[in-house]
């Protein structure tokens, strides 16, 4: 098989990168446990709700799942439900926890505190536009593209942190945005990933000669909750 010069150079470079590849970081990610608002189908966004009974049970199960994982550092959202989830996991690790303000959940504006299915029934055009268009906005809230942009300083802080094994405890929309940033996805692609309460995700960051590359080892695994 014949290769042109540019193609051969690309293949040689790829092989060279693979030889030099080493794991720079393991990034675990989770969404907070369920709140009473989650269980009542109420929209919460920036509302600072605590974990409900089911959420506390979920966070304990996640903690047991991650008991033998090495954790050097935990980054979390400023909202209580994410912080409580991080603290539950941390009971077996005693890692430092740092709040990243830009990892707060999407601002859902005028819909916060409202029943989700009722809102969708009464505002089908707004909802479907918001669900399919990363530049669409719930009245008074954020677009997904705005969330995608604002998480970037936090993502850079995580990548620059001198720790090998990190947990991020945040939220549904924010975790999608963080994944998208780490994997160089478009906002539209990133939004399509499912993010369940207290699910387990594991990302591997490899250092190549041309910079860091992400491998998704596990995403949104909730088998420990069953």
Per-residue pLDDT at 1 exceeds 50: no
| pLDDT tens profile 120-150 | 999 999 999 999 999 999 999 999 999 999 9
CA-to-CA dists, residue 174 to 4, 65, 144, 147, 185, angstroms: 43, 22, 9, 7, 14
Residue 148 lies in a domain: yes
Average pLDDT in the chain: 92
Report the CATH number at residue 87: 3.40.50.1240
> CA 88 to CA 57: how far, in whole Å?
10
Q: Residue 214 domain-assigned?
A: yes
- Spatial separation of the C-alpha atoms in residues 38 and 61, rounded to whole Å: 18
* 7, pLDDT greater than 70: no
Task: Count CA atoms within 13 Å of residue 27 on its CB side.
Answer: 30
pLDDT band, residue 5 (cuts 50/70/90):
low
Beta strands in 90-183 (DSSP E): 97-99, 165-170
Tell me what pLDDT residue 51 has.
98
**Which structure tokens are listed for 7?**
């193609």
Segment 19-51, tens digit of pLDDT: 455 678 999 999 999 999 999 999 999 999 999
Residue 116 in domain: no
User: What's the number of domains the chain is made of?
Assistant: 1
Domain limits for position 204 = 23-107+142-225
In a domain, 221, yes or no: yes
Residue 178 lies in a domain: yes
Tell whether 112 is covered by a domain: no
Q: Is residue 14 part of a domain?
A: no
């Amino acid at each position: 098989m014949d290769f042109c010069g540019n193609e051969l150079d690309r293949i040689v470079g790829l092989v060279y990168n693979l030889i030099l590849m080493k794991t720079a970081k393991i990034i675990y990610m989770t969404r907070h446990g369920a709140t009473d608002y989650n269980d009542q189908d109420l929209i919460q966004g920036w509302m600072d709700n605590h974990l409900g009974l089911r959420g506390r049970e979920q966070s304990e199960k996640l903690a047991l799942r991650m008991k033998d994982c090495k954790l050097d550092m935990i980054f979390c959202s400023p909202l209580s439900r994410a912080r409580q989830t991080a603290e539950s996991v941390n009971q077996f690790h005693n890692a430092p926890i740092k709040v990243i303000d830009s990892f707060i959940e999407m601002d859902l504006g005028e819909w916060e505190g409202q029943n989700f299915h009722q809102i969708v029934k009464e505002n089908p055009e707004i909802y479907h536009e918001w669900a399919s268009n990363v530049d669409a906005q719930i009245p008074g809230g954020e677009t997904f593209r705005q969330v995608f942009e604002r998480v970037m300083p936090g993502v850079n802080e995580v990548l620059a942190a001198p720790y090998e094994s990190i947990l991020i405890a945040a939220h549904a929309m924010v975790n999608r945005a963080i994944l998208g940033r780490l994997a160089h996805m478009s906002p539209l692609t990133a939004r399509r990933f499912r993010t369940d309460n207290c699910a387990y995700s594991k990302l591997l960051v490899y250092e190549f000669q041309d910079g860091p590359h992400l491998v998704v080892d596990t995403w949104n695994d909730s088998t420990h909750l069953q």
